[in-house]
Amino acid sequence: MERILTIERHILDTQREHPLATGVLSRLLYDIALAAKIIARETTRAGLVNILGSAGQTNVQGEEQQKLDVFAHRTIFRMNDHTGRLCLMASEEHEDIIPIPDKYPCGKYVLVFDPLDGSSNTDVNGNVATIFAIHRKITPGDQGQLDDVLQPGRDIVAAGYVVYGPSTMLVYSTGHGVHGFTLDPSVGEFLLSHPDIRIPAKPKYYSCNQGNERYWPAGVRRFVEWLQAKDDPVRKPIDARYSGALVADVHRILLQGGVFFYPGDLRDPAKPYGKLRLIYECAPLAFLVAQAGGYASDGLGSVLDLAPHTLHQRIPFFIGDRTLVEQAERFIQEHDGEWVQTYSAVRHGAPGAAARA
């Protein structure tokens, strides 16, 4: 029989391979796994809200029900605010950076997270997910500052996601490969189910919201035609899948190969950057996919090299199989001069470029 390995054991084993590690990062990762179990418990009850009370209402026990994304945000915050491991947090659910309360000690790491990505999927019992990344504190002093959050993905220390689906899965990397764990609800443990994930060499799916195709720059439209092998009867087209939850789609790409993209467009020339957020959505996934042998780009270059200029900055996002993502970059270079020029002007932080839409 295969060895059964819990996430706690896996984190500790990885730590042992690095004699200089102090264990702080290991304990931080374990706290995130614990928060994920609490969020998983709540997401599986989401279909019962009409019976047990919806957000803002009072349930049968007289407790106020919370929206799931607010619940997920608070769970992660409360699990990490007092441990002395973090100096700062930032979340999609919070406009500003989140300091550690004065009464608790500060630590040397920074946690950024999207507590419940794709939360509109809960209405249809679809997948939702938590995304996170950990950075080292780089500013002087005890308390963290905005600059600690505005670090490029290249400097991420650890990142991961938890996808709440038919099973709950946690996938993480500390820069030594990507490892996936499945929650066994009967014992409440994440067990190693997908060691050392590598993106399969043969791409199986492309994943995008094709309903927006008419708004896309010509190069992105050309890319989809190429994926569909429209002008090449010999090459086999790639199948399409889209769930409306970024992590579910990227998870499929990680396990089965292919490409996910949410491009920019010129519907509003002041916002050529698309929908997804750099710091807590794109960069952590770019870090993971790079560890699994893939590549992520904003259409012009590596997402991991982008130094964020605002907390909720959005970018165009292409992620997955390196060959496919580079093909998208080539089509964009070839066909989308106007878009490239407009996006390049805001890519590194023109004033007001990434205001929260």
- Please, which residue, 114 or 329, has the CB nearer to Mg ion? 114
Could you say which of 246, 283, 288, 303 contacts ligand AHM (CB under 6 A)? 246
Q: Burial level of 98, CB count in 10 A (0-12/13-18/19+)?
A: buried
How many Cβ atoms are within 10 Å of 103's Cβ, its own excluded? 7
Which positions ≥6 away from 122 have C-beta within 8 Å?
43, 46, 68, 128
- Interface region with ligand AHM, contact rule CB under 6 A, candidates 82-90, 113-121, 185-193, 288-296: 113-121
Could you say which of 114, 148, 249, 265 contacts Mg ion (CB under 5 A)? 114
Q: Angle between the 24-44 and 68-80 helix axes, to the nearest 10 degrees?
A: 160
- Interface region with ligand AHM, contact rule CB under 6 A, candidates 130-138, 241-249, 298-306, 334-342: 241-249
**Residue 295: beta bridge partners?**
320
Which tokens go with 355? 């205001």
Question: Around 248, how many Cα atoms within 13 Å sit in the side-chain half-sphere?
Answer: 20
Based on the shown chain and the rule CB under 6 A, indicate whether residue 245 belongs to the binding site for ligand AHM. yes
- Interface region with ligand AHM, contact rule CB under 6 A, candidates 74-82, 167-175, 243-251, 343-351: 243-251
Q: Quick one: what does residue 74 bind among ligand AHM, Mg ion, none, with the CB cut-off 5 to 8 Å set by partner type?
A: none
Which tokens go with 266? 């010129």
Based on the shown chain and the rule CB under 6 A, indicate whether residue 117 belongs to the binding site for ligand AHM. yes
**Least Å from the CB of residue 277 to ligand AHM:** 7
Q: Angle between the 337-347 and 322-335 helix axes, to the nearest 10 degrees?
A: 110
Based on the shown chain and the rule CB under 6 A, indicate whether residue 265 belongs to the binding site for ligand AHM. no
Based on the shown chain and the rule CB under 6 A, indicate whether residue 209 belongs to the binding site for ligand AHM. yes
- Smallest CA-to-CA distance from 10 within 164, 194, 135 is with 194
Based on the shown chain and the rule CB under 6 A, indicate whether residue 29 belongs to the binding site for ligand AHM. no
Can you give the binding site for Mg ion, defined by CB under 5 A?
Answer: 92, 114, 117
The binding site for ligand AHM (CB under 6 A) comprises: 92, 117-119, 209, 244-246, 262, 275
